[in-house]
Amino acid sequence: MDARDFDRINPFVRMMRVKQDLFGTGKWQDVDHVYTMITAGHADFIVEGTRYSLGRGDVIVLPPFQTHVIVPTGGEMLQQKIFHFDFFEDPERCSLRHEDVLDRDGPKVVPQRERLMGDRAFAAHPEPKAFARLEETYQRMLEEFQSLCEGGGCSALLRAYCTEMLVETFRGAQEHVPEDLRDSDKSKAWLHIENALKYIEAHFTDEDLSNERISEAIGVSPNYLTKRFRACFDMPLHRYVVRMRIERAQRMLHTGSCNITEAAAATGFSSIHVFSKTFKSVLGMTPSAYLESVAQELSVLRRSSDAQLLERRRRAMPQAPTPAERPDRCSAKGAPDDRSGSS
């Protein structure tokens, strides 16, 4: 991004959340930009075939509709401080819900003025003092967002905090050099892994999904696929499937779209007992305890998508002046018309 871009942005914050995972693994695609600070742990972010190995003190910003896989590494708790945003407030986009659109059919169009990042992810490692400032700003921004969802808050202050976060992140931070998994030496192996991920995504609800079935579907041997998968993700293929199922169930519970029994059935578990046991082994708590732990966040999530709140936020957006309201740049006698931009 060019430094001059920050002088004209007018951001809209759609959702904020602090997410913690010990072994969670998932694949996403979002309608908006996603800003993520890693405040604990380590993870590989694989964005459209490019791997960013990130840890505490790192930041990554993803453009809309970028398919990404997140795999926690190192066995530590991964904590992410996240917000979803548009660079510009727009009455039409304001009404978009916060949701994953990976499985959505139809065109996925990004408005031209939202393409300031050039459809390319940005990952950086700010200096420790700069990262500490980002954490402080994020906390103030989160409090303002929660207040806005409660019916109070100030949209202008939320925009100001978001702008500050973006300027601090993009200006002067040391950018990460990612690993391209599609280069000539790795492209064949990554193609097989990518095909396996797609197959898992389409069939994870099947109870009988196995390494053999996945391998057969993409035309390779089980031994080859498991070796390549472990080399790429540092975990066995079957463990990835289990973690993905739990992450999907977690996502369903988090959005309130189903209850625990329905989440178990929808993610390929043979019984509620097996689901609860696996859920606890992966996340360290039962599904019921998880719902209790995120009750406040669930309330904020639901209110942030409330139609009345979105309409109130839309009405609070600064309106572009009409031609009659715009100042006449040549109103002063003899004043030059500066439309050319020359000095």
153-205 tens-digit pLDDT:
888 999 999 999 999 998 867 788 788 776 655 677 888 888 998 899 889 99
Contacts of 122 (CB under 8 A, 6+ apart): 1, 60, 61, 169, 170, 175
pLDDT given at position 305: 59
pLDDT for 223 equals: 93
Q: Is the pLDDT of residue 214 over 90?
A: yes
What is the distance between the alpha carbons of residues 287 and 274, in angstroms, rounded to a whole number? Answer: 12
Mention the CATH class of domain 181-286: mainly alpha
Q: Which two tokens stand for residue 151?
A: 């019916």
Q: Is the pLDDT of residue 238 over 70?
A: yes
Average pLDDT over residues 240-261: 85
> Helix, strand, or coil here: 318?
coil
Q: Which amino acid is at 137?
A: T
- Give the chain's mean pLDDT: 82
Q: 204 with 214: CB under 8 angstroms?
A: no
Q: Alpha helices of 204-259 — where are they, by DSSP H?
A: 211-218, 222-233, 237-255
Distance, CA of 130 to CA of 290 (rounded, Å): 33
Residue type present at position 69:
V
Amino acid occupying residue 79? Q
Q: What is the pLDDT of residue 56?
A: 95
Least confident residue range of 77-91, 217-231, 319-333: 319-333
Kind and range of the H or E run holding 311: helix 307-315
Q: From the CB of residue 180, how many other CB atoms can be counted at a distance below 10 Å?
A: 14
Nearest alpha carbon to residue 243 among 231, 252, 253, 235: 235
Least confident interval from 12-21, 134-143, 156-165, 292-301? 292-301
The answer to whether residue 217 scores a pLDDT higher than 70 is: yes
Find out if CATH 2.60.120.280 is the number for domain 3-104+118-178: yes
Do residues 338 and 184 touch, judged by C-beta distance below 8 A? Answer: no
Q: 293-338 pLDDT, tens per residue?
A: 777 666 666 666 555 665 666 666 665 444 444 444 343 334 444 4
Domain boundaries of the chain, sorted by first residue: 3-104+118-178, 181-286
